[in-house]
Amino acid sequence: MYNTKIKPTFCPGCGNYGIKQALQSALEQLDLKPHQAVITYDVGCNSNMADFIYAYGFHGLHGRSVPSAAGIKLANHKLPVIAIIGDGAFYSEGGTHFLNLMRANHDVTVIVHNNHRFSLTAGQYTSTTEEETITVTSPAGVIEEPVNPIAVSLVNHATFVARGFAGDVKHLTDLIISGVKHKGFSLIDVLQPCVIWNKEQSYEWYKKNIYYLKKADSKRQRALKDALNEKKLAVGVFYQENKPAYHEEFPALIKKPLVYQDIRKIDIREVMKEFG
């Protein structure tokens, strides 16, 4: 139901196949028909998915699929909105959106295809690439410390923080379902093998280096312990909190979604007099 006629063009073995499959299974299990949800896309290998998934979609600029998602949600908060984005886009290029949209608790689910590279443009290092990694833009090894998106989200007021693995589609499907059901901002960072530009972090490497969290914590400090674990990578829901979403607190949206409001009747002449 969610496939277009276009055959995916990801490289054979790319982790994006697993993420696509998990997203489509989640939509099916949530009983969302292609016209009942909106998916925003970015620029990158990950977001070529816009051509392959049959559902309402919006293609944004690099690093901007999440503000597009927040805007759509503000226009019609009855729609489930999912943003697809890469690590280079969300944690590097669109870093301000990463920091600021989660604080507002916009009710969107963000799925980050985290392959630790700018893959579409030939494998440059991003802000999540580990120190000392050799890439085309770091021939002597990366000097900077990597961003830890899970730890940053935990201390930056995100209300649902999770990490999945593209090689475990069933687990990732469950994370996406929980993220979409969560009322507020949900971050799902996905460990995504890129078989072309990141040979080190392969499926086998991840299988040896991940462990599964049992359940979401309700204390940020406790969840941080797993987020800061440098020996192994935790996958699962780190933290979840119930809090009103942005559209539930924004006065103009409390009665009904903006798209159902008749804005033709609004007369701004009185307000404008203040500035005349």
Ligand X SMILES: Cc1ncc(C[n+]2csc(CCOP(=O)(O)OP(=O)(O)O)c2C)c(N)n1
Where on the chain is the footprint of ligand X (CB under 6 A)? 43-46, 61-62, 86-89, 93, 113, 115, 117-121, 126
Residue 132, both tokens: 């000392």
The DSSP bridge pattern shows strands 124-125 and 210-212 to be: unpaired
Q: Which does 62 bind (CB under 5 to 8 A by kind): Mg ion, ligand X, ligand SF4, none?
A: ligand X
Q: Which does 104 bind (CB under 5 to 8 A by kind): ligand X, Mg ion, ligand SF4, none?
A: none
Residue 117: its H or E element:
strand 117-118
Task: Check if the beta carbon of residue 134 is closer than 8 Å to that of residue 141.
Answer: yes
**Interatomic CA distance for residues 96 and 87, integer angstroms:** 13
Residue 164 Cβ vs Mg ion, minimum distance, rounded to whole Å: 15
Task: Check if the beta carbon of residue 52 is closer than 8 Å to that of residue 72.
Answer: no
Question: Given the complex with ligand X, which of 19 and 162 has the nearer CB atom?
Answer: 19
Question: Given the complex with ligand SF4, which of 154 and 194 has the nearer CB atom?
Answer: 194
Question: Given the complex with ligand X, which of 10 and 160 has the nearer CB atom?
Answer: 10
DSSP 4-64: -SSPP-SPTT-THHHHHHHHHHHHHHTT--TTS-EEEE-SSTGGGGGGTB-SEEEE--TT-
Residue 105 Cβ vs ligand X, minimum distance, rounded to whole Å: 24
Residue 179 Cβ vs ligand X, minimum distance, rounded to whole Å: 19
Q: Which does 89 bind (CB under 5 to 8 A by kind): Mg ion, ligand X, ligand SF4, none?
A: ligand X
Residue 121 Cβ vs ligand X, minimum distance, rounded to whole Å: 4
In the complex, which residue's CB is closest to Mg ion?
A: 86
Question: Given the complex with ligand X, which of 45 and 188 has the nearer CB atom?
Answer: 45
Bridge partners, 111 (sequence order): 84, 188
State how far the alpha carbon of 92 is from the alpha carbons of 69, 79, 96, 257, in Å: 18, 28, 9, 32
- Taking the mean position of all CA atoms in its chain, how far away is CA 70? 12
Binding site for ligand SF4 (CB under 6 A): 10-11, 14, 16, 45, 115, 119, 194-197
Amino acid at 257: P
HSE-CB for 89 with a 13 A CA cutoff:
28
Residue 69 Cβ vs ligand SF4, minimum distance, rounded to whole Å: 21
Q: Which does 61 bind (CB under 5 to 8 A by kind): ligand X, Mg ion, ligand SF4, none?
A: ligand X
Q: Which does 121 bind (CB under 5 to 8 A by kind): Mg ion, ligand X, ligand SF4, none?
A: ligand X
Q: Which does 43 bind (CB under 5 to 8 A by kind): ligand SF4, ligand X, Mg ion, none?
A: ligand X
Residues in the chain: 276
Binding site for Mg ion (CB under 5 A): 86-88, 115, 119
Q: Which does 14 bind (CB under 5 to 8 A by kind): ligand X, ligand SF4, Mg ion, none?
A: ligand SF4
The DSSP bridge pattern shows strands 233-240 and 160-165 to be: antiparallel
